[in-house]
C-alpha cells in the first residue's frame, strides 16, 4: 500500500517539528519538510504529494504566493492544502481560502484539530 505523502512548508523549525510529530501519528504517512515557499515549490516539482500544509509568513516566498502558484499547476489542482498561520483575522482567512486553500487553521494549533482536518481532507478513517 502506497504511503500518504505530505509536504510541510514552515520556516519555524519548532513549528515544523511539532507538525511532523503530529502527522507521524497517522498510519502510513511520509512527511517532507520545506523551510519556505521556494523550497516548497522545488519539492513539489520533484515529488507527488497528497496534501500540503503551509505557513503564511515565511521568508523568500510567503505561503499565500505558494498556494496561488500551486493551484495554477494542473498536477496539483486537487491536492488539499491546509494553511497554518498566526494570521487570525477574518480577511486573512477569506484570502487564504479564496486562493485555493481547503482549510485555514490558526496558531497556536491544536494537534487534534490539525489531525482531524488532515483526516477529513484525505478521507481517512
Partner 1 sequence: MSKDRTEEFLSTFKKTADFVKELLQENEKLRYQVASLQEEIKSYKEKGVGIDAHAQCIAKIAELEAEKSEILKKIREVEAENKNFAEKYIEVEQENNNLANLYIASYQLHSTLNFKEVVQIIMEIIINLIGAEIFVLFLLDEKTNELSPIATEGIELDQVTNVKLGKGIIGQSAKSGENYFSDIIPMFDSFNQDNPIACIPLKIKEHTIGVIAIYKLLVQKSTFSELDYELFTLLAGHAATALFSAKLYTESERKLSTIQGFIELLTK
Q: Binding residues for partner 1, per CB under 8 A?
A: 12-15, 17-18, 21-22, 86, 88-89, 106-108, 110-112
Partners of 52 in beta bridges: 7, 81
Look at the block and give the residue holding cell 477529513. 120
77 by DSSP, 3-state: which?
Answer: coil
Partners of 70 in beta bridges: none
Find the shortest distance in angstroms from Cβ 10 to partner 1: 9
Q: Residue 64: which H helix or E strand, with range?
A: helix 63-72
Q: Which is nearer to partner 1, 62 or 69 (CB)?
A: 62
Find the shortest distance in angstroms from Cβ 13 to partner 1: 6
Find the shortest distance in angstroms from Cβ 72 to partner 1: 29
Three-point CA angle 97, 77, 113, nearest 5°: 45
Q: Which is nearer to partner 1, 69 or 124 (CB)?
A: 124
Residue 53 and residue 8 in contact, taking contact as beta carbons nearer than 8 Å:
yes
The C-alpha cell at 60 is 523568500
Find the shortest distance in angstroms from Cβ 70 to partner 1: 23
Q: Which is nearer to partner 1, 63 or 79 (CB)?
A: 63
Q: Which is nearer to partner 1, 66 or 109 (CB)?
A: 109
Please provide the size of the chain in residues. 125
Amino acid at each position: 500500500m502506497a504511503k500518504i505523502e505530505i509536504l510541510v512548508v514552515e520556516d519555524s523549525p519548532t513549528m515544523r517539528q511539532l507538525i511532523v510529530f503530529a502527522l507521524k501519528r497517522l498510519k502510513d504517512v511520509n512527511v517532507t519538510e520545506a523551510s519556505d515557499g521556494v523550497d516548497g515549490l522545488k519539492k513539489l516539482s520533484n515529488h507527488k504529494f497528497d496534501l500540503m500544509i503551509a505557513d503564511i509568513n515565511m521568508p523568500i516566498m510567503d505561503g499565500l504566493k505558494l498556494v496561488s502558484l500551486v493551484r495554477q499547476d494542473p498536477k496539483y489542482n486537487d491536492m488539499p492544502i491546509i494553511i497554518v498561520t498566526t494570521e487570525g483575522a477574518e480577511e486573512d482567512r477569506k484570502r487564504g481560502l479564496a486562493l485555493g486553500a481547503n482549510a485555514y487553521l490558526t496558531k497556536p494549533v491544536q494537534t487534534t484539530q490539525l489531525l482531524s482536518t488532515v483526516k477529513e481532507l484525505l478521507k481517512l478513517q
